[in-house]
A and B are shown apart, each in its own frame.
Chain A
């Protein structure tokens, strides 16, 4: 016990001597959550569109007006297509709504067509714009029907949707918990990724091994101060989520903190393991970059739906601790204490933490002989 305390003290001194670790533990979470919390958004508003009125009839003008009224669009009214196409190429507008010359005529025959041309490079945005445009047109159609221009001859199914946990459809609700996962992944792995490799490169680890301390004790001493630093970062993130971005915490705080501690443990052990295996700071930094940041962004379910990925990619995602933490955070933040989700995911994280620590210990001990 005394040996561990002494080692922890040594690590803590080292930590405080190097301002960059403190920067990672405290400044980085704060900076990142502020930067991304305010900047990232998938909510589309004020889309610049060109509305091309090739038909000057009152019906067509009325339809064009429904785009002006919609909060989702910022329309430019034009009368000819070539100019609209120019605007798309100059990226001044993201879509063209084309109302053809025979619109009013065909509307009276019950078969009018409105064309939407979307700049499709960013498919997700294009789809959202399409949905909003369909909505604006449908609203115009139902207003017309209500004004009695035409009796709806056939009944139609109408979708009435409700978005549970996020009634206002605010993308911050899932982006902010996702960011916490990214930040915790990086803090955890970055802080420890180089510590073992550095001691190998400088030969100080061998010096430690000839003292009576055991490999497990060295690892524990390396974890404790960084764990404390990571918890400070976590606290800052949760405070920012709650008070700055007003993401509701519908589950209990104690569960939120408990699963985050588990995840931090996993992230720190990943760093230590990489560091112990590679024994080189350069390779270790590359490996950490590859294993942590992008996988946590792409394969965790933070942004992209895991269910829609091909089976092979989904299998890889099961090996990724961030996946379980994203599910846990999204549930505890937005849905509440749902044990059917919390228990299995927390158990996997616990298993991963235990496995990684045991593995790191085995690797560190073996390197000694």
Chain B
């Protein structure tokens, strides 16, 4: 009874030595999660803070100046140029010197004083239409506030209806709060899956795997011996990222660490299972790497990390059900931001269990097949 456990422990020790002996591979496993989380935590945001814009003010009135002052005071928009002719608009936009050009017609103030709608023309660079749309959204909030202030200053009745807005779980609507917890799953998956995919392939290529197969180890034991070290590496990486999220980005953690780690354990089982299965199929490290990328790309892009799953066509929404990262990201958000307990993440746990239950035994079964 004790024997298989001792054998597996010996294998795990050997496996960890193989991964961690080389100082370069040590560095390549534990430094990148921290650096990536720091850089991408800052980079991966749909929030805008520096939108360059140009103005074509044909009115040059008190009203137009007031509107522009409201824009410049918003910490979102930065006026970089003042245009004189509408012919200049094209170059400014084409050469990406500005994201928006705001054109205020010469009757702007006159119409406002007359109680008429006064048009502000806005031309946006749609090469990234999401960025442009977000900027236009900010702009309309500023114009709303301007209208209210204008009505108050001129003792007129303002717009009769006020829209107030509150966001749950992320009061300031910061994309970073969404992205950084999602990175816990994403960054760990990429390296752990690749690590698992390379593990058997490396031994096959060096010929040591055949030697391992002729020892008393059963394939299942070899599988466990390969899977556990990779999961240990993944857990360490996840912890490092979690530390950066809390100590550096100071994103408040609402849930329980135990729940999060239970979720991560299931996730890593599934990810490592997929990696090991790939590793058992391929013959060389080159193939292992290529196939690992071939699954990791869809996993990371179809996970809800960058674009919401609910925007996808129905077929693709079903496909994402096979993606362990989808569940990991959901769990990270639920537990991290909303403080969800085990009962609420249970629907995300069992699909990962299923993935692990299929991939890990298949990997063990496939180990033998490579010998012929």
Contacts and interface: CB of A to CB of B under 8 A. Distances in A.
Contact of B143 (A157, A165, A287): A157
Contact of B293 (A111, A141, A190, A303): A190
A216 B246 CA distance: 49
Nearest to B313: A38
A217 to B, nearest CB: 22
B286 interface: yes
Contacts of A294: 36, 40, 187, 190
Contact of A313 (B42, B99, B291, B319): B42
Contact of B170 (A123, A289, A308): A123
Interface in A117-143: 117-128, 130-131, 133-134, 137, 141
B307 A298 contact: no
A119 B124 CA distance: 28
Contact of A309 (B42, B129, B133, B284): B42
B129 A116 contact: no
Interface stretch (A3-11, A166-174, A204-212, A354-362): A166-174
A154 interface: yes
Given A153-B157, A190-B290, A18 B306 contact: no
B115 interface: yes
B47 interface: yes
B248 interface: no
Which among B147, B301, B333 has the highest number of chain A CB atoms within 10 Å?
A: B301
A121 B182 CA distance: 11
B25 interface: yes
A368 interface: no
Contacts of B51: 307-308
B32 A290 contact: yes
Interface string B141-162: 0010011001100101111111
A275 B137 CA distance: 46
Interface in A163-191: 163-167, 169-171, 173-175, 182, 186, 190
Contact of A301 (B24, B128, B294): B128
A118 B300 CA distance: 26
Given A153-B157, A293-B297, A161 B190 contact: no
B43 interface: yes
A157 B148 CA distance: 10
B118 A155 contact: yes
A29 to B, nearest CB: 11
A276 interface: no
A118 to B, nearest CB: 5
Interface string B235-278: 00000000000000000000000000000000000000000000
A173 B129 contact: yes
Interface-centre pick from B134, B178, B293 (highest chain A CB count, 10 A): B293
A299 interface: yes
A86 interface: no
Contacts of B353: none
Interface in A22-39: 23-24, 28, 31-32, 35-36, 38-39
A160 B104 CA distance: 11
Contacts of B208: none
Contacts of B113: 155
Contacts of B154: 154
A309 B131 CA distance: 13
A62 interface: no
Contact of B178 (A122, A173, A285, A307): A122
Contacts of B166: 115-118
Contacts of B99: 307
Contacts of A161: 121-124, 136, 139
B160 A141 contact: yes
B86 interface: no
A189 B125 CA distance: 31
Interface stretch (A75-83, A220-228, A258-266, A327-335): A327-335
A281 B202 contact: yes
Interface in B89-144: 91, 93-96, 99, 108, 111-134, 136-137, 139-140, 143
Nearest to A28: B294
A148 interface: no
B55 interface: no
B168 A155 contact: no
A128 B133 contact: yes
Contacts of A111: 160, 162
Nearest to A117: B166
- The residue in A20, A112, A113, A182 that gathers the most chain B C-beta atoms within 10 A of its C-beta is A20
B94 A335 contact: yes
Interface in A310-355: 310, 312-313, 316-317, 327, 330-331, 334-336, 338, 340-341
Contacts of A331: 96, 127
B45 A308 contact: yes
A99 to B, nearest CB: 10
A327 B126 contact: no
Given A88-B168, A157-B67, A289 B49 contact: no
Contacts of A88: 168
Q: Name the residue among B96, B174, B286, B306 with the largest chain A CB count within 10 angstroms.
A: B286
Interface in B299-319: 300-302, 306-308, 310-313, 316, 319
Contact of B129 (A39, A169, A281, A299): A169
With most chain B CB atoms within 10 A of its CB, the pick from A118, A123, A166 is A123
Interface of A: 18, 20-21, 23-24, 28, 31-32, 35-36, 38-45, 88, 94, 107, 110-128, 130-131, 133-134, 137, 141, 150-167, 169-171, 173-175, 182, 186, 190, 193-195, 198, 278, 280-283, 285-290, 293-294, 297-299, 301, 303-305, 307-310, 312-313, 316-317, 327, 330-331, 334-336, 338, 340-341
30 contacts: A18-B286, A18-B287, A36-B302, A40-B301, A43-B311, A116-B164, A119-B167, A121-B338, A122-B178, A123-B173, A134-B163, A156-B118, A156-B147, A156-B150, A158-B117, A159-B122, A161-B136, A164-B126, A166-B126, A167-B126, A174-B129, A182-B297, A195-B286, A281-B286, A285-B289, A293-B293, A294-B40, A305-B131, A312-B42, A327-B96
